[in-house]
Structure 1
Amino acid sequence: MESTFYTSCYTSCQLNLYLTNYMQTLSDKEYKNEFVESFPGDESGDLRPRQTPGVLYSKAKPTPVEKPELLAWSDDLAKELGIQKPNDQKDIDILGGNFVTDTMQPYAACYAGHQFGNWAGQLGDGRAITLGEWETPDGKSWELQLKGAGPTPYSRRADGRAVLRSSVREYLMSEAMHYLGIPTTRALSLVSTGDPVLRDMFYNGNAAYEPGAIVMRVAPSLLRFGNFEMLAARKEKENLQKLVDWTISRYYPHIQGEGDERLLAWFKEVVEKTAGLMVEWLRVGFVHGVMNTDNMSILGLTIDYGPYSFVDNYDLNFTPNTTDLPGKRYAFGKQPSIAYWNLSRLASAIAPLLSGTEELVKTLATFDEAFTSRYMTMMGNKLGLDEAKKEDAPLFAQVERMLSTVQPDMTIFFQLLIDLPLGLEDKVAVVAYFRESFYADLNADEKLLLCSFAQAYQERMKVNTITPEASQEKMRAANPRFILRNYLLSQAIEQLEAGNNELFLKLQEAMKDPYANKFDEFFAKRPEWATSKAGCSMLSCSS
């Protein structure tokens, strides 16, 4: 025991020494700028809104703010990247957009997109500025981007700023999704600016000033489907080919071959990553809210946290985005089909680089198989099955139908299912067992659906080839106990605006261990008052 203790201490000391030697400050780092150096861009630094044909980016320096103050810092991410926590104003000024180092070459990317199913033309980084690329000691490169750092040539009629409300949501949810095990961009810091920002939260003529803030967003790449769509729409085939080749070489280096073979292999991986991401969203009940093609990552990451939400009551037709009404294009249950549609837009964009489109269409069609196989595995894990078999498909359909009809709280229902006593088949007892998850009393048909599922589920568990303990372990790993509900975020934001960070700090800790029961003060249904309160139930794209 003593030997183990000293070995552990020695290892810990080695780790701390490593971190001390390799942790660098934001201001001392020599940044890489491979994207800027690889492609044509507008070097003028002119921030006036305009079309920028022939370029993939425009140089854009952040606009200084009145008083940047560090509100939050992701220690875990900083350690992974080798970044020291700011201990002087110079580093905080970088996070607030008030200081740019000599090796940074800040820019806003030019891209296009389909928004709510319609072609929107040139969009681009309207309130995001990439400072440069941070290389870690292991040779990996991460883009550091400030969101809310002021206008760019792609801001159109907007100010390029972000408010505390939306910035808190982006900062916390980026990190929460990471700890849930879902591919995502990350957030390193949250900074208040000291400047008021005018916002019309629901675009209804009730504009008001809110405190400004900036998030530093981090990802291996922030390339979107829309980057490729922009070049295709402008018929800039040479730039399109160059971007595809660069993307494959840099982020998919294992893909070999050349010509059509290489491009199709890459597109197939993008299809698979996107399908896998949709399954992960369904697993935890995440609704993105605005799945435009310019919000789809080429790496299969969750990107652009705006009017998102977790589902409380299980409703496949739920959308948190007021802009998505009344059609609910981006509703919870529609996300996989929208992902497929978005992939078809990407396919159209890269089609000019191929000798023909027959194989491209076939590759796009692999989405269904990629999604279904991953979905089956995911559902098997959520239910604690030894493995998901073809004959389990009716059970998965049954639980889906029951959840959609009964609409229990998704998170609480699956937590209760983990400890469902085997042999509990009495209808009254089953309904009573799951009552904690209900938002309303069940009618006779709903009770029947619930009890029928419980019976079918227990029959399946009788032939499970793993122990009940192993089954529960799988379920606990697949079903989060803590999620960042919108009403909690709303409360934390209101407190922060009043100068109180107590709830914000609690949520920041709880999200780091979402599968444990350490923070059961948050294990509760959405309260009634939050059902119709702005920022708790419905949000807008400015959220």
Structure 2
Amino acid sequence: MNLQNITQQYLDIFPGDLSGSLQQRQTPNVLYSTVKPVGFARPKLILFNEELSQHTGLGKFDDEDLPFLAATDLPANVRTYATAYAGHQFGNWAGQLGDGRAIYAGEIKDENGRTTELQWKGAGATPYSRSADGRAVLRSSLREYLMSEAMWYLGVPTTRSLSIVLTGEQVIRDMMYDGNPQPEPGAVVIRTAESFLRFGHFELLSAQKDIALLTELTDFAIANYFPEIRTEGSLKYRDFFASVCRKTAALMSEWFRVGFVHGVMNTDNMSLVGLTIDYGPFSMLDSYDLNFTPNTTDLPGRRYAFGKQAQISQWNLWQLANALFPLIENADFLEKTLNEYSDHFWQQHDCMMASKFGFENLTEKDDEFFTEWQKLMTDLQLDYTLFFTELEKWDESAGLQDFFEKVSYSVTTDESLSKLNDFLISYIERRNLNNITIAESRMLMAKSNPRFILRNYLLFECIEEVKRGEKNMLNKLLHALQNPYQEIYPEFSVKRPLGYDDVSGCSMLSCSS
């Protein structure tokens, strides 16, 4: 890889604490602290993303790159640092948080001028680690690598992963927060993004009343990530906030399209540029359930359940609005923009749902149709992804019971078959309102509905194999996730097996990693 191309624009602009100390502390009036990764004596490469490396301009991997991937023996041009931010966690103000185990290497520009930031996750403690050790384990690293790549190929805005390296050490984690900590293989992942700026970076500076630095950071963000904004003064900051709202609404619609549940939508996990960031106790939907949360820490309130994600993103934007108020100084504008966010999201959501059903446009009665569909999905415990796969192929001559058994987690009854049949009749009637052919309708569905999603039980099986030194499942998943709108492996396009219902990591997880 061409590591000499890594630059440090962020460090050249903003004030930082250059002591390099690992002491866990508050760092007022600075946005970053320099820190050295811990270094690992026996790193072993597990995965390297050749496509991403080429895409970012880093080029091909050779064995001499391993020390960089493991955050060990770094090139002279790489000056490592961690950033400070704050946030609301589960609805409560948590104060300064910061990247406790994410250490920045810098950024790189490709031949087209696109900038990509690089950071290690799990390379040791930073001044923002609080009481944690700054390490990561193979389990969570592999989940983040695979899921972020799966989201990329699904077409959902996301951070991406460049590599996973085993550190050669054991890390103690209490996976289910049940007082039963266990040693797990340690790992370091390199993740990439256009920007890792979060709502929490702005919340921190506003809370500290450091308006000068808040202004500088916002100007930096606009210049680097919102080039469409050409206005000046307070109008520039209004346009900036409105653009963040639009990007966030678009992201939420995409999460709903593919059935992704983040699990920890704290404000410090919200990307300024509308990316899916910080993959922890996430899940793809199996049975359709608006109240499903994959995060055991989110029980019993289910604040971050699937059906609440748009509402929570709006709440998080309110917190960003509060942080930016000293620059915008117009409460009416902020209130109006945030109220419009809901309308904007639902407009995108309904257009997205129309595409999933193969409708060329929306009609006045589609709200009623979508509500009827949601009730059917919930009552019959239907699999979100498989339902649309089967619906795309459906015609009146197909077997109703076969359809039901492929997609339902409930027992087949005459009543359930009758409900499904009634809905399919109403679906055919609604599809007949299209001005496009059935074949064109199905093509629209094929573009909107994945054949393959990376379910938690598949990740669980893969992780167990990799721990044993095997990579067959890993290689198959990589192939499948890179082609999610094709059915590469039919055995992956089935309901979650019943035997995984109560297995930790196959449906719900804790925040522990």
Q: TM-score scaled to structure 2, two decimals? A: 0.98
Contact 2:404 2:417 in 1 (8 A): no
Q: How does 1:90-105 map to 2 (within 5 A)?
A: 91-105=65-79
Which position in structure 1 is the counterpart of 2:408?
Answer: 438
> Counterpart of 1:9?
none
C-alpha separation in 2, matches of 1:238 and 1:39: 11
Distance in 2 separating the partners of 1:495 and 1:372:
41
Give the AA of the match of 1:341: W
Determine which of 434, 454, 457 is the counterpart of 1:487: 457
Q: Secondary structure at the match of 1:439?
A: coil
Match of 1:4 in 2: none
**8 Å CA contact retained: 2:205, 2:213:** yes
5+ residue gaps, structure 2, are none
Distance in structure 1 (CA, Å) of the matches to 2:340 and 2:51: 36
Q: Secondary structure at the match of 1:165?
A: helix
| Paired residues of 2:404 and 2:412 also in contact (CA < 8 A) | no
**What is the distance in 2 between the residues matched to 1:121 and 1:142?**
28
Residue of structure 1 in register with 2:98 after alignment: 124
Shift of 1:430: 3.2
What is the distance in 2 between the residues matched to 1:255 and 1:390?
A: 35
Are 1:294 and 2:268 an aligned pair?
yes
Is 1:272–2:246 an aligned residue pair?
yes
Shift of 1:287: 0.4
Q: Secondary structure at the match of 1:266?
A: helix
Q: SS state of the match for residue 60, structure 2?
A: coil
Aligned-partner Cα distance in 1 for 2:160–2:77: 23
Q: Which amino acid aligns with 1:498?
A: R
- Note the 1:38-49 alignment, pairs <5 A: 38-49=13-24
1:278-312 CA-partner distances (Å, limit 9, x unpaired): 11111111100100000000000000000000011
Residue 191 of structure 1: how far off its partner (Å): 0.9
Match of 2:59 in 1: 84
- Which among 379, 386, 390 is matched to residue 412 of structure 1? 386
**Shift of the alpha carbon at 1:368?**
1.2
Aligned to 2:287: 313
Structure 1, gaps ≥5 residues long:
1-24
2:19 touches 2:34 (CA, 8 Å); kept in 1? yes
What corresponds to 1:52 in structure 2? 27
Give the Cα–Cα distance (whole angstroms) in 2 for the partners of residues 190 and 75 of structure 1.
12
Distance 1:358 1:364 in 2: 10
Q: CA deviation at 1:382?
A: 0.3
1:237 equivalent to 2:211? Answer yes
- 1:256-295 per-position Cα deviation (integer Å, ceiling 9, x unaligned): 1112211111111111111111111111111001000000
Q: Which of the numbers 11, 17, 27 marks the counterpart of 1:36?
A: 11
Letter matched to residue 43 of structure 1: L
Match of 1:328 in 2: 302
Does residue 248 (structure 1) correspond to residue 218 (structure 2)? The answer is: no
Q: Is 1:478 aligned to 2:448, yes or no?
A: yes
Report how far residue 30 of structure 1 moved. 2.9
CA distance in 1, matches of 2:258, 2:181: 34
Alpha-carbon distance in 2 for matches of 1:100, 1:366: 48
Pick closer, same or farther for the CA change 1:241–1:457 going to 2, 3 Å: same
Amino acid at match of 1:38: I
- Does residue 209 (structure 1) correspond to residue 199 (structure 2)? The answer is no
CA–CA separation in structure 2 for the residues paired with 1:243 and 1:275 = 23
* 2:434 counterpart letter in structure 1: N
TM-superposed CA distance for 1:41, in Å, is 0.7
Q: Helix, strand or coil: the match of 2:16?
A: coil
Spell out, residue by residue over 1:314-363, the C-alpha distance to the aligned partner (whole angstroms, 9 max, x if none). 11111111100111110111111000100111001101112321111111
In structure 1, how many angstroms separate the alpha carbons of the residues matched to 2:97 and 2:497? 38
- 1:526 partnered with 2:496: yes
Q: CA-to-partner distance for each residue in 1:446-505, whole Å, 9 max, x for gaps?
A: 444423321111101122111111111111111111111101100110111111111011
**Match for 1:333: what amino acid?**
G
Counterparts of 1:124-143 in structure 2 under 5 Å?
124-143=98-117
Aligned partner of residue 67 in structure 2, secondary structure: helix
Structure 2: distance between partners of 1:245 and 1:389: 42
- Show the counterpart of 2:321: 347
Q: Which amino acid aligns with 1:39?
A: F
1:152 has 2:126 as partner: yes
SS in 2 for 1:496: helix
3-state SS of 2:185 partner: strand
RMSD: 1.4
Q: Which residue of 2 aligns with 1:179?
A: 153
Give the aligned partner of residue 432 of structure 2.
Answer: 462
Equivalent residue of 2:268, what SS? helix
Larger deviation: 336-345 or 458-467? 458-467
**Which secondary structure state, in structure 1, belongs to the residue aligned with residue 17 of structure 2?**
coil
- Where does residue 482 of structure 2 map in the other structure? 512
Is the partner of 1:390 in helix, strand or coil? coil
| Counterpart-to-counterpart distance in 1, 2:248 and 2:412 | 36
Matched with 1:13 is: none
Please give the alpha-carbon distance, in whole angstroms, between the structure 2 residues aligned to 1:264 and 1:84.
Answer: 39
State whether residues 198 and 267 of structure 2, in contact with CA within 8 Å, keep that contact through their aligned partners in structure 1.
yes
Q: Secondary structure at the match of 2:145?
A: helix
Tell me the distance in 2 between the aligned counterparts of 1:450 and 1:63.
Answer: 57
Paired letter, 2:426: A
Q: Which whole-Å CA distance do the structure 2 matches of 1:83 and 1:173 have between them?
A: 22
- Inter-partner Cα distance in structure 2 for 1:446 and 1:338: 33
Name the residue aligned to 2:200. Answer: 226
TM-score by length of 1: 0.92
How big is each residue's C-alpha offset from its partner over 1:189-227, in whole Å with a ceiling of 9 and x where there is no partner?
Answer: 111111111111112211111101111000010000000
Secondary structure of the equivalent of 1:158?
coil
1:46-88 Cα shifts (integer Å, max 9, x gaps)? 1110000000111111110121121111122112112233212
Equivalent-residue separation in structure 1 for 2:419 and 2:29 (angstroms): 58
- Give the superposition deviation at 1:165: 0.2
Provide the rounded CA distance (Å) in 1 between the counterparts of 2:178 and 2:217.
40
The 3-state SS of whatever aligns with 2:229 is coil
Q: Identity of paired residues, percent?
A: 49
Give 1:442 deviation, angstroms.
4.6
